[in-house]
Each structure stands twice: as structure tokens, then as C-alpha cells.
């Protein structure tokens, strides 16, 4: 498998009639993916503590029957009912019940093998921290695990890295508090990084990581239901990775 699809910030609502855009864009994503993984980079539901939102989410996935749908946690998925309190364990458990690749330990990344020389690494940016509101954190142990994994990859193997929080948003209530440390790990092991994708900010932008003569693209996607589009991540003939927007249906 030499490609996948990235969607982000679905924000599925508790009321079924409010999710028409989500259903429409996920149907297109399924068609474009054609069996390849669909990676949703966080904020799958509007409020992770709300069981009705998760029920609507389950209904949507069941009705569309998307194979290989992969969830990455966002701040809305594991948020407390009390605004500003950040990470909530019960909400995290609801997320994990739907995506068993994730362990109970919030500092444990997840992932899977995409093809013979490509892995997909999923980072949890909801590590318990003292940041307020919508901030995120990768955390010491997860950063160490990532560095060890990347540095230990065989020559020629690459990892596609996905997380929810934006690597380049310094907003005091939205930022990834250890973004610079994550970037350092990626730059130090750029020979084994093929692509980095995230959401959170609800805005589109492309960035580039450059080290030792090698450049890797980073992609921030806007809120998928509102934009009506998403990204197809694909392997080029030279073995590197790129992205493109499928045409709107």
C-alpha cells in the first residue's frame, strides 16, 4: 500500500441532522482511499464526554463501512465537561474503546505498517500536562520512544507521522507546548521521516522540515467537513512522499 488519506477535525455532533457535511466528505474520502487507510487526525467528536456524540460517530462509520479507518486523539476527544480542565480519563477511555491500537498509557504512541518499507506512527498530543484549554503535549517518554524508534529503523525505511496538535501554532491556549522538542527529534532522524500531518488549527498550510540536504513536507489541514476536502498522501516514484487534494465531487 503506497498511499493513504488524511482527514481532520470532523467534530461529529450529538444531533444526527448536524452531521450531513461529515457524512458527505467521509463518503468521498472512502471512495478516494479505495481500501487504503483513512487517518483522522483528531477532534473526531465535538465533546468526548458526550455519549450521544460518540453514538453518532459510531453510526456514521457503520453506515459508510470505511475499511481501515484510523483515529488519532484530539483535545475535543478527551476533554473534560468542565471547560479549561483539559485531559479527561473517561473521555480517553471512550476514544480507546473505538480505536484499540491505543494503549491506556497516554504516553504510548500507536502505529502500523503501511507497506514493506513504510510505517505509520501516530502520536498522542494529549499527554497529561498543566496546560489549559486546547493545548497539547507529546511528553518526555513519548518523545524518547519516537527517537528510539526512528533511529533504529533500517536504512531506506520511512515513517509517516500523524498527530492532532499543530506544530507551528504558538497561541497560548492552543499550542503544542513541546513542539520544538518534537521538531528536533524529527530533524535528527529525517532520513527516516517521510511525511508529517496534523490538524487542530482549522487552517491549511504546508511546511517543510529540512536537514542534511533532505526536505520532508508537513501538512496542516483545515476542518474537513467545512472545507469539503482532505488530502491524499502518496509515495512518489523516487520513494519519497507527497500529498495532493482530490478534486471536490
All domains of the chain in start order, with CATH: 3-244 (3.60.21.10)
Phi, psi of 23 (to 5 degrees): -60, -45
What is the value of pTM for the model shown? 0.96
What's the pLDDT tens digit per position in 72-112? 999 999 876 665 556 788 888 999 999 999 988 888 999 99
Reply yes or no on whether the pLDDT at 131 is more than 70. no
End-to-end CA distance of the chain: 24
What percent of the chain clears pLDDT 90, i.e. is strictly above it? 80
Dmax (CA) for the chain in angstroms is 51
**Comparing C-alpha atoms, which of 101, 75, 88 is closest to residue 176?**
75
Quote the crossing angle between the two packed helices 51-64 and 20-33, to the nearest 10°.
40
**Comparing C-alpha atoms, which of 232, 8, 116, 187 is closest to residue 242?**
232
Confidence band for 179, pLDDT divided at 50, 70 and 90: very high
Q: Which residue has the higher pLDDT, 170 or 209?
A: 209
Give the other-Cβ count within 10 Å of 1's Cβ. 14
Q: Which residue has the higher pLDDT, 133 or 138?
A: 138
Average pLDDT over residues 33-58: 96
Confidence (pLDDT) at 86 = 64
Confidence (pLDDT) at 89 = 85
Q: Are 157 and 199 in contact (CB under 8 A)?
A: no
Average pLDDT over residues 57-71: 97
Q: In what helix (H) or strand (E) does residue 113 lie, and over which residues does it extend?
A: strand 110-115
Amino acid at each position: 500500500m503506497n498511499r493513504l488519506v488524511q482527514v481532520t477535525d470532523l467534530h461529529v455532533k450529538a444531533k444526527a441532522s448536524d452531521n450531513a457535511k461529515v457524512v458527505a466528505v467521509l463518503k468521498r474520502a472512502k471512495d478516494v482511499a479505495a481500501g487504503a487507510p483513512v487517518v483522522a487526525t483528531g477532534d473526531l467528536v465535538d465533546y468526548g464526554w458526550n455519549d450521544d456524540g460518540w453514538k453518532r460517530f459510531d453510526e456514521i462509520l457503520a453506515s459508510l463501512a470505511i475499511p481501515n479507518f484510523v483515529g488519532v486523539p484530539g483535545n475535543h476527544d478527551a476533554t473534560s465537561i468542565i471547560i479549561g480542565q483539559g485531559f479527561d480519563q473517561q473521555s480517553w477511555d471512550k476514544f480507546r474503546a473505538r480505536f484499540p491500537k491505543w494503549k491506556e498509557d497516554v504516553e504510548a504512541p500507536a502505529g502500523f505498517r503501511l507497506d514493506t518499507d513504510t510505517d505509520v506512527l501516530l502520536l498522542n498530543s494529549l499527554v497529561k500536562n498543566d496546560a489549559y484549554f486546547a493545548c497539547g503535549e507529546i511528553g518526555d517518554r513519548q518523545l524518547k520512544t519516537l527517537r528510539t524508534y526512528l533511529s533504529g529503523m533500517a536504512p531506506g525505511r520511512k515513517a509517516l507521522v500523524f498527530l492532532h496538535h499543530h506544530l507551528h501554532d504558538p497561541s497560548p491556549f492552543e499550542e503544542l507546548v513541546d513542539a520544538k522538542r518534537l521538531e528536533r527529534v524529527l530533524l535528527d532522524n529525517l532520513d527516516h521521516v517521510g511525511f508529517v500531518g496534523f490538524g487542530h488549527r482549522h487552517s491549511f498550510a504546508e511546511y517543510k522540515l529540512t536537514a542534511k540536504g533532505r526536505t520532508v513536507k508537513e501538512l496542516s489541514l483545515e476542518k474537513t467537513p467545512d472545507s469539503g476536502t482532505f488530502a491524499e498522501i502518496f509515495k512518489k516514484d523516487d520513494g519519497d512522499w507527497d500529498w495532493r487534494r482530490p478534486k471536490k465531487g
